[in-house]
Structure 1
């Protein structure tokens, strides 16, 4: 029977040092881009060439031990599904965090219990946790993370959480802004889209609650309607729209709003004459829709300011405040 091939040994920093003809300390200075240590361009080039030739990759765990902390920033993976505006902003944030020397890790686990989530995050020993769904955090989850050595905890949330640096973002205010506009336009039977895609209900439900709070002060009804981000789902919803009897809809964000609006038009339901449609995020393509899409604009703080705040939390334990997110209605032809 043939012997199993043994796995090749991983290259070490000592191997790189020998090949480049330098000390291990110099290899560390070059590969970690350590500030305050002068290394000639020729030496730097030799080290990088040797590391590439050997396929050397620094050991993150060992580097964390030397530095006294991890360089990982953990973010829940569901942020990639919240829409183009936030996804593009997260891309910028990742770049800004890299500027500070951090590696961003998306955590794919989904947990009903915030404490269970915190324990799973703590296992990775990140330097920081940044949550766009901060309303799920509690003082207990913050304590679990703190005891695990997590130095920076930053969250977008509707209310402050002990132990967490909070940036104000109340999703209920988004639904409230859209609903007030629809009521001002004379709509009394308002639908609120709840995306059926996994993970989005944690943002959609507070937006629905905000719509319901505004409607409760008027002779207006609010009806949640489920919609998947597919042409088939939008067509099915549009075909039963008149049975629902709704004359306005807040469709979670611009992408769902455009999808539903085109399905309604395809079924012969005029927008805005019969149904007023409002989205959220005020994407560039919203103004190019026909009719142009009314949207709730969200002015996100700069990715640089959030990265700077998170770095300050890790380095010093305190950080300057970051302006919260306030929704603003952008009125166009769809309503």
Structure 2
């Protein structure tokens, strides 16, 4: 019996009475295209009638399953922390015979477009998905895993609170918080700041000073000078991450000030350079090894139809005490 010919996008276009480009726009949900609703519905009906699938989906059907996991990365800088999570997820998935594929969001390309082209066994994201997109993807049989760090015990508010509690425990009553100015990190920065501020109130400390820092020595010097003029009483500072903390250390040196005697500084992430900073940096460490492996196991379990209990781990956050605070 001759092998049935695979249905193509051209076949769909012919059946719907539209161009192949229109089919692509509809299936990929291409932004900024004014496709009439009746045209869109006609294309989708042709897709159903002809049982059209993409090349990747067709391959998945032939071999029984797709061994690819699509990780849609957030629009954040690729920090050491995020790189470490990716590394651990990759290694963990490999133990289950799965491969990780990384994708960045693109203004001209929708999540649905990426998913349709790749037909992955699972999709991972760390940001909230459109409810309609998530429903469509799940109903197709693709596993969706939201890589929520909070479910694992890594809560951004808790990180800020740990910094405040540590500084207060060292006798500091007037604190400041150095936020990052990068708009891509505004959500995480705001959550850590709120956790820090709320802890200060709970500990009956003074209202903390909030400062914006960029990753430059001149910017750090300017921010520190402004603080000394308006809040000279501040003796302890928490920072959004270790990179901002390093900028603070450099700014303090430029001003001829001493850390921790003039200002105690606590960072976040325990970046590799933190132990070599001058002075070595006190910081909050997030256990990205445990988190990455947890995500890999969760994805593999979901693909296998198993349920995995989301137990928060008590040791995913720890204070690494060095000489800066």
The two structures share one fold, judged by TM-score above 0.5: yes
- Distance in structure 2 (CA, Å) of the matches to 1:275 and 1:127: 51
RMSD after superposition = 3.1
- Is 2:302 aligned against 1:313? yes
Please report how far the alpha carbon of residue 317 of structure 1 lies from its aligned counterpart in structure 2 after TM superposition.
Answer: 4.5
Whether the 8 Å contact between 1:85 and 1:281 is mirrored in structure 2 is yes
Q: With the length of structure 2 as denominator, give the TM-score of the two structures.
A: 0.69
User: 85, 90, 93: which is aligned to 1:94?
Assistant: 90
Please report how far the alpha carbon of residue 322 of structure 1 lies from its aligned counterpart in structure 2 after TM superposition.
Answer: 5.6
- Correspondence list, 1:84-233, <5 A: 84-99=80-95, 100-109=97-106, 123=116, 125-133=119-127, 136=128, 142-158=134-150, 166-217=151-202, 218-233=204-219
Matched with 2:62 is 66
Unmatched tracts of structure 2, length 5 or more? 1-54
Residues 53-103 of structure 1 deviation map (CA, whole Å, 9 limit, x = unaligned): xxxxxx634322324554442334337626313312312322433452323
- Distance in structure 1 (CA, Å) of the matches to 2:129 and 2:206: 33
User: 263, 283, 308: which is aligned to 2:271?
Assistant: 283
Greater relative contact order (Cα < 8 A, sep 6+):
2
User: 305, 311, 331: which is aligned to 2:321?
Assistant: 331
- Distance in structure 2 (CA, Å) of the matches to 1:142 and 1:277: 42
- Correspondence list, 1:252-291, <5 A: 252-291=240-279
- Distance in structure 2 (CA, Å) of the matches to 1:189 and 1:172: 19
The verdict on how the C-alpha distance between 1:219 and 1:291 changes in structure 2, with shifts beyond 3 A counting, is same
SS of residue matched to 1:282: coil
- Distance in structure 2 (CA, Å) of the matches to 1:260 and 1:144: 47
SS of residue matched to 2:210: strand
Whether the 8 Å contact between 1:310 and 1:319 is mirrored in structure 2 is no
- Correspondence list, 1:40-55, <5 A: none
Whether the 8 Å contact between 1:152 and 1:317 is mirrored in structure 2 is no
- Distance in structure 2 (CA, Å) of the matches to 1:323 and 1:170: 10
Residues 259-303 of structure 1 deviation map (CA, whole Å, 9 limit, x = unaligned): 221112211222112211000122343222221211112223163
The verdict on how the C-alpha distance between 1:148 and 1:121 changes in structure 2, with shifts beyond 3 A counting, is farther
The verdict on how the C-alpha distance between 1:247 and 1:144 changes in structure 2, with shifts beyond 3 A counting, is farther
Whether the 8 Å contact between 1:152 and 1:314 is mirrored in structure 2 is no
Please report how far the alpha carbon of residue 231 of structure 1 lies from its aligned counterpart in structure 2 after TM superposition.
Answer: 3.5
User: 74, 77, 91: which is aligned to 2:73?
Assistant: 77
The verdict on how the C-alpha distance between 1:126 and 1:203 changes in structure 2, with shifts beyond 3 A counting, is farther
Which has the larger displacement, 322-331 or 166-175?
Answer: 322-331
Please report how far the alpha carbon of residue 323 of structure 1 lies from its aligned counterpart in structure 2 after TM superposition.
Answer: 4.8
Residues 13-45 of structure 1 deviation map (CA, whole Å, 9 limit, x = unaligned): xxxxxxxxxxxxxxxxxxxxxxxxxxxxxxxxx
Unmatched tracts of structure 1, length 5 or more? 1-58, 111-115, 159-165
The verdict on how the C-alpha distance between 1:141 and 1:276 changes in structure 2, with shifts beyond 3 A counting, is farther
Whether the 8 Å contact between 1:257 and 1:277 is mirrored in structure 2 is yes
SS of residue matched to 2:219: helix
- Distance in structure 1 (CA, Å) of the matches to 2:68 and 2:126: 17
Residues 122-145 of structure 1 deviation map (CA, whole Å, 9 limit, x = unaligned): 555543232345xx4697775454
